[in-house]
Structure 1
Amino acid sequence: MGKTFKTNSALRRFIMTIVFLTVTAIATSACGQNADDGQSGKLNITATTGMITDVAQQVGGEYVEVSGLMGAGIDPHLYKASQGDVKKLDDADIIFYNGLHLEGKMAEMFEALEKRKPTVAVSEYLTEEQLHTAPGQGAGMHDPHIWFNVKLWISATEVIRNTLVEKDASHADYYKDNAAAYIKKLEELDAYATEQIATIPEASRILVTAHDAFGYFGEAYGLTVTGLQGMNTMSEYGSKDVSKLRDYLVEKKIKAVFIESSVPKKSIESVIEGARQLGHEVVIGGELFSDAMGDAGTVEGTYIGMVKHNVDTIVAALK
């Protein structure tokens, strides 16, 4: 009898110990989760283009985990979200996208997501006066390629900064300091682009590309810009477009045109061949990054590196 009593007591103590450890583990886990909310945990951010991904990482630093949907060479105009992308968007604490119909095929998805979480267009601070109207489009349709004017991209940085501060106020000063340091670099980049483009003879400041993505760049830095396709690569180009651009090259005696990393070069090659048949030699002046940056881990895989590459490539070919 005494042995049975001792056995039952030991069993009860064992069970009580297991219960105690289980409750402690649950409580510890809950405390850990609460501590992570805006304290030690990282904000999970999903961004569409590489340019936005880069800025979000620059501003968020060690307190964010940024996942980009569109890598090097990806055309956002034609992009369709995969199942993996949908999961990234669903898991995100914050979603940043360009807006202005750049990610046209994802617009409905963003509208649905913004009802559940911060889903923010980095173009939202820009005014009607700052935006270009897209030729041939309806009212309210704007050129979405705002990153080509570095001053406009400073506005995008401010949108990202303010969103992070609102979502994670405990690290507000950190985000503000990072944004201030990055904006200073952008101001230096803007000055660099202005100075370098000014070294091109005025008559040669004509930028011809595969699609009309560089309007903001031309306005900001003093270049006449034209492209074979419109602002949106979803638009088709035909023989009339090729002939028109060919004649423009011949008339203006343009010596160099540019291909783009996210647009097949065969489109611009047909224009070059047409000019050659008319006795005018045109060369490819280099590859520019337009709707996507370079490969991750390269200088051109950052926004600042991409813009510098474009500026240096244009100046080398047109100067």
Structure 2
Amino acid sequence: MKKLKTMLGLSVLSIALVGCSEAQEGDGDTPIRIVTTTSQIGDSIEQIGGELVEVTSLMGPGVDPHTYQATQNDIQSLQNADLVLYNGLHLEGRMNEIFEQMGPSKSVALGDSIDEEKLLKNFEYEGAVDLVDPHIWFDVDIWKEALDIATETLIQHLPEDEDQLKQRQQDYFNELDELIAQTAQKMDQLSDEQRVLVTAHDAFGYFGRMHDLEVIGLQGLSTEDEIGIRDIDSTIEILVERNIPSVFVESSISPRSIQAVIEGAKEKGHDVTLGGELFSDAMGEKGTKEGTYIGMYEHNVETIVNALLREEE
């Protein structure tokens, strides 16, 4: 029944978007209406576009993009949009058919244009043959490349504002460069032995690669992957054998599986603390520090470093 409802929903949306498959050419007025899937994209586009854009993000705090299904309100937003920007790389798996209906002139997948050699692939999980890790926003350098694509797309819609858009992009990129430098400085506080991050699902691969951190995810790249007893038991075994002191939950995922790991490790005589909550697939509430891309990233870094350092005190 759930599958039938999903198929019916996609069919209705496909019909609704038939008249919107071609790009809606602007009439020269601003701001242009942009719909993004994730808040990570939405906030970054607001920083670059400023008053030239009106941004609506479909997936707010606590929302899991892997399992997200479009609502009737989303249909209306997509119909009214001049441009739709989404992550791609199968992050929004259940919405792929929708973007195909809209066509490439109106919807742009920022991740799909990133050099494949820079993307992480996962061969560990059963059925995940050649599966690309879509969580590219955790590598700030790669995220800047994605935003280059977004900026060029904005310029195509607002050619008369090219200079302003490029200047705002450069200003924002300067902030991102400062974020990279500050993160490196904080991460340098961790010893080699402390550089292990255990999370609810495998969303921090790019973060780990960029900051020399080993990442262990209880769940696979997608939260649609099933978590079995074997996954929990193997994670407990790693924690006990390597004497890992902390694990982390994520704002968009139920903490039950991580709690099961903590309890399982305790039964084996190894006390594991909850290091804190991280933002992975979703950001924080609008208007808060964690509701911005930079603030979300800073929160994660501070939470990780503080928790891992605390265990050595």
- State the TM bucket, normalised to the shorter chain: 0.7 to 0.9
Matches for 1:200-215 after TM superposition, within 5 Å = 200-215=190-205
> Displacement of 1:40 after TM fit?
3.7
Q: Does 1:296 align with 2:247?
A: no
Match of 1:141 in 2: 131
Match of 2:8 in 1: none
Deviations 1:3-54 (A, max 9, x none): xxxxxxxxxxxxxxxxxxxxxxxxxxxxxxxxx9464421000000010000
Match of 1:44 in 2: 33
Q: Does 1:225 align with 2:215?
A: yes
Code of the aligned partner of 1:250: V
3-state SS of paired residue (2:238)? helix
> Displacement of 1:125 after TM fit?
3.1
TM-score scaled by structure 1? 0.86
Deviations 1:251-275 (A, max 9, x none): 1101110000000001100000000
Match of 1:276 in 2: 266
TM-score scaled by structure 2? 0.88
Deviations 1:169-209 (A, max 9, x none): 01111111111100111111111112211211110100000
Residues 255 and 283 in structure 1, CA contact (< 8 A), matched pair in contact too: yes
Task: Choose the corresponding residue for 1:125, options 105, 113, 127.
Answer: 113
Deviations 1:81-118 (A, max 9, x none): 00110111111000000000000000010011015x42
Residues 89 and 112 in structure 2, CA contact (< 8 A), matched pair in contact too: no
Q: Does 1:98 align with 2:87?
A: yes
Residues 210 and 203 of structure 1: CA distance in aligned 2, closer, same or farther (over 3 Å)? same
Q: Does 1:316 align with 2:284?
A: no
Match of 1:67 in 2: 56
3-state SS of paired residue (1:124)? helix
> Displacement of 1:134 after TM fit?
2.5
Gaps in structure 2 of 5+ consecutive residues: 1-24
Match of 2:146 in 1: 156
Q: How many residues align?
A: 283
Task: Choose the corresponding residue for 2:178, options 177, 183, 188.
Answer: 188
Matches for 1:10-49 after TM superposition, within 5 Å = 37=26, 39-49=28-38
Residues 251 and 278 in structure 2, CA contact (< 8 A), matched pair in contact too: yes
Residues 124 and 159 in structure 1, CA contact (< 8 A), matched pair in contact too: no
> Displacement of 1:167 after TM fit?
1.2
3-state SS of paired residue (2:153)? helix
Residues 26 and 157 in structure 2, CA contact (< 8 A), matched pair in contact too: no
